Amino acid sequence: MPPEDAVIDLRSDTVTKPTPAMREAMARAEVGDDVYGEDPTVNRLEEYAAALMGKEAALFLPTGTMANLTAILAQTRPGETIILSEESHPYHYEGGNVAMVAGLMTRTVPDPFGKMSAAQVAARINQVDDPHYSHTTLVAIENTTNRGGGACYNVDEVAAIGTLCRERGLRLHCDGARIFNAAVAMGVAPEAYARHCDTLCFCLSKGLGAPAGSVLVGDRTTIHTARRFRKMLGGGMRQAGILAAAGLYALEHHIPDLKEDHRRARECRTALEAIGARFPLPSPTNILYVESPDAAAVVARLARFGVRVNPPRGNRFRLVFHRDITDAMLQRAIAALIEAMA
């Protein structure tokens, strides 16, 4: 149990720390050199992840950013176009790697929730046989959406985009950094989403609580190619089983706990709505955006009460609930928010 005056860190679910049981699993992990394919724990994680998502193969990577990038590199060639949301993580927060490393044009879809419909995607596909144009070859969705307030797709929406991509000969990637949050919130198996996507990556180091790591799943050929790009980008780790053991532990034990993060986010929202706080987006999972005309001052006041949040974006600041936030911390955070926003 954290001490009663522990700092309440609501900046991100990436701040979660490994539990004693997870550390125990890491300490006991059998390891080998994963670049030679000889780390039994990494191999076990990759097999587990592929089976969980109903795909042929999986690849363990150090970060979600590298998972997205290897998926993109493995399914495009420089000069082609990727369609993605204007709010998506690769578009905003991956250092421009889509342009610099993959050499792609981006065609974006505006939507406050960071989602795209099949019709919006269809309207942006370019396959005209004219040398003036860059051809669309890849579509990337995000589920749940980070900048969209943790919004999730329902399976039919993903199925419609998947069908469109298949009909038009495009590949579909899902940045499922928080795919288990989506699956838990929508009451579906994660495989129900993965089925409609060629590749999907998910993070072990966010709400699932592992210290590092992401997994990319897909067909054998695409994952083989992604493995080449992982090495090229410097992501081939050696005795990575120590990290993979944490990931396996998280997948085996922590997925059901995500619903508690969603409940705490809901409770926080309800308490703040009762004092007239405004929320620009629905928040079906663990991410809340709060709107305030003096957001920067509220954030500064929260820091004085021991509640950490990221600097605001305009008039909104973000609260992210995760497994290191207890119910007692939730109540302290709510009290601090009420006072800071008064």
Residues at the site binding ligand PLP, with contacts judged by CB under 6 A: 14, 63-65, 68, 89, 142, 146, 175, 177, 203, 205, 214
For residue 12, the minimal CB distance to ligand PLP (Å) is 6
Q: Between 203 and 281, whose beta carbon lies closer to ligand PLP?
A: 203
For residue 213, the minimal CB distance to ligand PLP (Å) is 8
Q: Between 203 and 243, whose beta carbon lies closer to ligand PLP?
A: 203
Is the Cα torsion angle 186, 192, 196, 201 positive or negative in sign? positive
For residue 255, the minimal CB distance to ligand PLP (Å) is 17
Q: Is 202 exposed, middle or buried (0-12, 13-18, 19+ CB in 10 A)?
A: buried
For residue 210, the minimal CB distance to ligand PLP (Å) is 11
What Cα–Cα distance (Å) separates residue 62 from each residue in 65, 200, 247, 276? Answer: 9, 15, 11, 42
Q: Between 213 and 312, whose beta carbon lies closer to ligand PLP?
A: 213
For 79, left (φ over 0), alpha (ψ -120 to 50), or beta? left
For residue 301, the minimal CB distance to ligand PLP (Å) is 26
Q: Who's near 115: CB < 8 A, 6+ residues apart?
A: 85, 141, 145, 148, 151, 153, 157
Q: Between 146 and 341, whose beta carbon lies closer to ligand PLP?
A: 146
Q: Between 89 and 262, whose beta carbon lies closer to ligand PLP?
A: 89
What is the DSSP-derived secondary structure letter of residue 204? S
Q: Between 205 and 283, whose beta carbon lies closer to ligand PLP?
A: 205
Two tokens at 194?
């993965």
Q: Between 125 and 175, whose beta carbon lies closer to ligand PLP?
A: 175
For residue 66, the minimal CB distance to ligand PLP (Å) is 7
CB atoms within 10 A of CB 277: 18
* Residue indicated by tokens 């800071």: 340
Give residue 189's identity as a one-letter amino acid code: A
Two tokens at 142?
């995000």
- In angstroms, rounded to a whole number, what is the distance separating the alpha carbons of residues 33 and 95? 30
Question: What DSSP letter does each residue of 125-191 carry, written as one string?
Answer: ----S-TTSPPEEEEEEESS-TTTTS----HHHHHHHHHHHHHHT-EEEEE-TTHHHHHHHHT--HH
Q: Using CB positions, name the residue nearest to ligand PLP.
A: 64
For residue 61, the minimal CB distance to ligand PLP (Å) is 9
Q: Who's near 212: CB < 8 A, 6+ residues apart?
A: 62, 63, 204, 205, 243, 246
For 2, left (φ over 0), alpha (ψ -120 to 50), or beta? beta
For residue 108, the minimal CB distance to ligand PLP (Å) is 15
Task: Quote the distance between the C-alpha of residue 196 and its chain's center.
Answer: 18
Q: Between 81 and 205, whose beta carbon lies closer to ligand PLP?
A: 205
For residue 45, the minimal CB distance to ligand PLP (Å) is 16
Q: Between 66 and 340, whose beta carbon lies closer to ligand PLP?
A: 66
**Beta-carbon-side half-sphere exposure of residue 127 (alpha carbons within 13 Å):** 11
